[in-house]
A and B are shown apart, each in its own frame.
Chain A
């Protein structure tokens, strides 16, 4: 038996297995971390619900939506949830509402109404604990 050759082979295979294990666990951690708070689903949900509200709105309407879950997820992902512009964006040229609950990118959905958004803000609901709402003023 050639003990030096065998221990060299053993070391080589061990290193390969360890590297593959590390790559596997990094991949698994990445998949779980990205989906743990299901930010992608909630971005889609809020984009479509806000688009629904805009589609039905008339000029002069003031719309209030409970966005507590969105702001909590955004805050957990390092965004300043109190600043509406960081989480909610309106592309009036494209007629699209974009929700961003993660550090990079967001989910957009187009609305059908020709109404414009005059202003929007996120505020804490008075008298409630930890409840945020988005206030949209339709022009």
Chain B
């Protein structure tokens, strides 16, 4: 666009166009921020799911006995004995540590054991949330950490 400048100050009109565009951007941003502030950033289910996993696992330990779960692959035993499906390995963690001999077993993403306890992990949905509890079978004590970073995803429906 060729703008003819003359001594009557047409340049000011051209500059106002950019001010107008800036105003439009500010209004649209404000609209988006208002909607975000009102409706929030969704439903954070990470802690609830970590607690559900902890609950299921402690029930399973009690019913089946922890030594049965330590035979062979821990992940496969969780699926077979505790009624979990393949999703236990995706964006989740089940971590078991024997407090007597320090042996470890896990299913899922092991690094969640560290990420859970980062500063601000609870507020940031890109980090997992974990629940920790201890379990004893009378002979040995175990530390169990269950964590979840699972988030919803858009699907074709």
CA distance A89 to B152 in the complex (A): 14
A22-57 to B contact mask, C-beta < 8 Å, 1/0? 001001100110010010010111011000100110
The answer on a CB contact under 8 Å between A109 and B152 is yes
CB of B141 within 8 Å of the partner chain: no
A interface residues (Cβ-Cβ under 8 A, vs B): 5, 9, 13, 16-17, 20, 24, 27-28, 31-32, 35, 38, 41, 43-45, 47-48, 52, 55-56, 89, 95-96, 98, 100, 105-115
Q: Which range holds the interface residue count of chain B? A: 35 or more
The answer on a CB contact under 8 Å between B28 and A113 is no
B10, B92, B154, B157: the one within 8 Å of A89 (CB):
B157
Contacts of B103 in A (CB 8 A): none
The answer on a CB contact under 8 Å between A24 and B28 is yes
- Which residue of chain B lies nearest to A59 when distances are taken between CB atoms in the complex? B83
Number of residue pairs A-B, CB distance < 8 angstroms: 98
6 closest cross-chain pairs (CB), A and B: A106-B157, A100-B157, A108-B155, A48-B45, A114-B85, A110-B87
Smallest CB separation, A47 vs chain B (Å): 6
- Which residue of chain B lies nearest to A35 when distances are taken between CB atoms in the complex? B35
CA distance A20 to B56 in the complex (A): 57
B interface residues (Cβ-Cβ under 8 A, vs A): 4, 10, 13, 17, 20-21, 24, 27-28, 31-32, 35, 39-40, 42-43, 45, 48-49, 52-53, 56, 79, 83-88, 90, 92, 150, 152-157
The answer on a CB contact under 8 Å between B157 and A35 is no
A5, A107, A114, A115: the one within 8 Å of B152 (CB):
A107
Contacts of A44 in B (CB 8 A): 42-43, 152
- Which residue of chain B lies nearest to A92 when distances are taken between CB atoms in the complex? B85
The answer on a CB contact under 8 Å between A112 and B84 is yes
Sample (25) of A-B pairs whose CB atoms are under 8 Å apart? A20-B20, A28-B27, A31-B28, A31-B35, A32-B35, A45-B43, A52-B45, A52-B49, A96-B155, A98-B155, A105-B154, A107-B153, A108-B152, A109-B45, A109-B150, A110-B87, A112-B52, A112-B53, A112-B88, A113-B84, A113-B85, A114-B79, A114-B83, A114-B85, A115-B83
The answer on a CB contact under 8 Å between B85 and A95 is yes
The answer on a CB contact under 8 Å between A107 and B154 is yes
